[in-house]
């Protein structure tokens, strides 16, 4: 079976009300301050906290409950978001219990790893701003991941082409 590493788009950061055990690093309460309007039903915060829309969480609970614990997540908007978000979206904190490469949804080195079946399931929901990388191709070392992201950015710039020159008048 093929597995993939999923890297969801992040739309915010952990809020002050988040509770993390200093010794184990285990998170017991999640509070998120949204900095952008969420466009996807699956998002990540601080790289290891995963949030799902209520609709996605409900579907996961029905079909993949063995892989998750579902907890309340407190979500609020950053000061600059007050005008953009009249009603804050509701999210559920997905505490992932599954083991990457064993379950359909699981963690491997703090990364979300999903099976082909789970990936097809996720594609039924609005999750477009994400990276989907074959497990074999994902660099788990921070240095290699940084190189991968830099190469991807260079490739995008090559596809876009050189910047267009803007006509301007010489002020002299």
- Give the DSSP letter of residue 20: E
User: Structure tokens of 68?
Assistant: 């998750």
Q: How many Cβ atoms from other residues are within 10 Å of residue 62's Cβ?
A: 8
How does pLDDT run across 51-72, given as a tens digit for each residue? 999 999 999 999 999 999 999 9
Using DSSP bridges, classify how beta strands 68-77 and 3-8 pair: parallel, antiparallel or unpaired. unpaired
End-to-end CA separation in angstroms for the chain: 67
The residues that bridge with 21 in the sheet, in sequence order, are none
How does pLDDT run across 109-133, given as a tens digit for each residue? 989 999 999 999 999 999 888 999 9
- Give the DSSP letter of residue 18: -
> Tell me, what's the pLDDT at 73?
92
To the nearest whole number, what is the mean pLDDT of the chain? 88
- 5: pLDDT strictly greater than 80: yes
User: Structure tokens of 168?
Assistant: 């301007």
């Amino acid at each position: 079976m093929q597995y993939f590493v999923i890297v969801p788009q992040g739309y915010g950061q952990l809020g002050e009300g988040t509770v993390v055990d200093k010794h184990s690093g285990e998170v017991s309460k999640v509070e998120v301050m949204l900095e952008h309007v969420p466009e996807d039903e699956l998002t990540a915060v601080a790289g290891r906290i995963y949030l799902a829309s209520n609709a996605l969480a409900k579907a996961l609970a029905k079909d993949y409950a063995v892989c998750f614990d579902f907890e309340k997540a407190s979500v609020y908007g950053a000061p600059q978001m007050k005008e953009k978000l009249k009603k804050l979206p509701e999210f559920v904190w997905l505490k992932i219990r599954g083991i990457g490469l064993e379950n359909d949804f699981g963690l491997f080195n703090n990364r979300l790893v999903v099976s082909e079946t789970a990936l097809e399931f996720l594609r039924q929901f609005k999750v477009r701003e994400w990276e989907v990388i074959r497990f074999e191709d994902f660099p788990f070392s921070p240095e290699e991941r940084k190189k991968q992201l830099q190469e991807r950015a260079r490739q995008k710039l090559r596809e876009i082409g050189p910047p267009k020159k803007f006509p301007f008048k010489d002020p002299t």
